[in-house]
Amino acid sequence: MIGAILQVVLVVAGAPLLVGLMRQVRARMEGRAGAGVLQPWRDLRKLLRKEAINPHGTGWVFRLAPLLLAATALVVTAVVPLVTTASPLDGVADLFAVTALLALGSVALALGGLDTGTAFGGMGASREVTVLALVEPTILLSVFALSVRVGSTNLGAIVTSTVNDPLAVISPVSALAAVTLAVVIIAETGRIPVDNPSTHLELTMIHEAMVLEYAGPDLALIEWASAIRLTVLLGLLGSLFAPWGIAAAGAGPVALLVAVLALAVKVGVLGALLAAGEVFMAKLRLFRIPELLAGSFLMALLAVAASFFLA
């Protein structure tokens, strides 16, 4: 229980720091000085104090979308084994359930974009559900590949089995599953090469186009929730393939502290790698993204086939 609370507090507090770290890594590689790791915290603080706006013609769906996005991100944070494998919400700690909750958050945002009635909102929603639909098969097949060895899709069980048998990570199945999950994370969180989170050109937007109408605390919630989703997904990638340091059920305070530090290091390293990769890549054309996702689907299929033939 304490581990889960610690996990939620850590992720909620640290997610903007991860975004700041990624922006700082990009800035340094581009030769700039960068605004500092704490800048997203300053942005959020300022946004919370601004005025919220209800555009004419929007309704309860527009108002509910940021809340639902943040709520699903919070539930997923409490469930995914980041600091501890023992989740108090064991009935929710299933990989299929976590995937579906993240999809629910994206759907809420898409509906919020459609509720504005502007062309940009509709465009962002349309592109978002296209990417979501094409990413689903890859996600579920990667879950399949990971669960074959363990015999369960329960997140705690999968992570515990990797903790007990670390060498199982060095196998073609794990390598393929890791690559496909990395592509999935990039697609779900809207990073380059699927989507550019800092673009100003509406015709190139996917995620940004849905949130063009939001202001003040609503925008703060959306940005926070997006940062939390990125942190949780990177943490999940780390826990699934490099779970060293994660605390087991009933661990003492020292083990929890070690787990917290390990999580911070893992997520930091993965985020820095992702940001560095973004410097070398450009965003793909919208209609090249299905090719990328189809390629990752084939890799996931190979991972499942490998898990059968090599078992």
Partner 1 sequence: MVSLWQKIRRTGRVAEPPPPRERTDPPPAAAELAGSVQIRHVDAGSCNGCELEIASTFGPVYDGERYGARLVASPRHADALMVTGPVTRNMATALRRTYEAVPEPRLVIALGDCARNCGVFAGAYGVTGAVSDVVPVDVEVPGCPPPPEAIVAALRGLTGR
Partner 2 sequence: MTGIVTDAAMSTTLITSVPGTGSAVTGLADPAGAAGASFVLALALCLAAALVALVLPGRIRPAAAGALTAAAGAAAVVAGVRAVAGETWSAWLPDLLPLLGVRLGLDPLGGVFLAVTGAVAVCAAIYGIGYTRHGLSGRGVQAALPLFVAAMLLVPAAASVSTFLVAWELMAIASLLLVVAEHHKRAAVGEAGLWYAVMTHLGFAVILAGLAALAAVSGGDAFDRIREATPSAAAANLIFLATFAGFASKAGIVPLHVWLPRAHPEAPSQVSALMSAAMVNMGVYGVVRVGLDLLGGGPAWWWLLVLAAGALSALYGILQAVVASDLKRLLGHSTTENMGLVLIGVGAAGFFAASGSRVLAALALVAALLHVINHAAFKTLLFLAAGSVLHATGTRDLDALGGLRERMPYTTGLFALGALAASALPPGNGFVSEWLLLQSLVNSLPEGGVAHAVTMPLAVGVIALSAGLAIATFVKAFGVGFLARPRGEGAANAHESPPTMLGGMLLAGAACVALALAPTLLLPGLARAVSGVVGGTGDPVTVAGAATLRLEGIASTISPLLIAAWLVAALVLVLALPRLFAARRARRAARLWDCGAGPMTARMEYTATSFAEPLGRVFDDVLEPESDIDVTPLKESAYLVERVRFHARVPDRIERRLYEPVLAGFAVAGRAATRLANGSVHRYLAYGFYALTGALILLAVLT
The answer to the question of residue 129 lying near partner 2 (CB under 8 A) is: yes
Select from 16-24, 35-43, 121-129, 162-170 the region that touches partner 2 (CB under 8 A).
Answer: 121-129
Report the site for partner 1 in 109-148 (rule: CB under 8 A): none
The answer to the question of residue 32 lying near partner 1 (CB under 8 A) is: yes
Query: What is the distance, to the nearest Å, from the Cα of residue 54 to the centroid of all Cα atoms in its chain?
Result: 28
**What does 91 bind: partner 2, partner 1, none (CB cut-off 5 to 8 Å by kind)?**
partner 2
Q: Could you give the CA distance from residue 50 to residue 27 in angstroms, rounded to a whole number?
A: 27
The answer to the question of residue 280 lying near partner 1 (CB under 8 A) is: yes
Which residue in the set 128, 188, 208, 278 belongs to the binding site for partner 1 (CB under 8 A)?
208
Burial string for 72-94 (b: 16+ CB within 10 Å, else e) reads bbbbbbbbbbbbbbbbeeeebbb
Contacts of 309 (CB under 8 A, 6+ apart): none
Least gap, CB of 280 to partner 1 (angstroms): 6
DSSP at 169: G
**What does 199 bind: partner 1, partner 2, none (CB cut-off 5 to 8 Å by kind)?**
partner 1
Tokens, residue 45: 């603080």
Least gap, CB of 271 to partner 2 (angstroms): 24
The answer to the question of residue 213 lying near partner 1 (CB under 8 A) is: yes
Which residue in the set 13, 54, 90, 202 belongs to the binding site for partner 1 (CB under 8 A)?
202
The answer to the question of residue 63 lying near partner 1 (CB under 8 A) is: no
**What does 184 bind: partner 1, partner 2, none (CB cut-off 5 to 8 Å by kind)?**
none
* Cis? peptide before 40, omega within 30° of 0: no
**What does 155 bind: partner 1, partner 2, none (CB cut-off 5 to 8 Å by kind)?**
none
Cα–Cα nearest to 233, from 104, 108, 24, 73: 73
Q: How far, CA to CA in Å, does 42 sit from each of 17, 79, 204, 214, 245?
A: 11, 28, 27, 18, 31
Which residue in the set 2, 42, 133, 298 belongs to the binding site for partner 1 (CB under 8 A)?
42
Q: 28: exposed, middle or buried (C-beta count within 10 Å: 0-12, 13-18, 19+)?
A: middle
Q: Kindly list the residues in this chain that would bind partner 1 in the complex (CB under 8 A).
A: 27-36, 39, 42-43, 45-46, 49-53, 199-202, 205, 208, 212-216, 219, 279-280
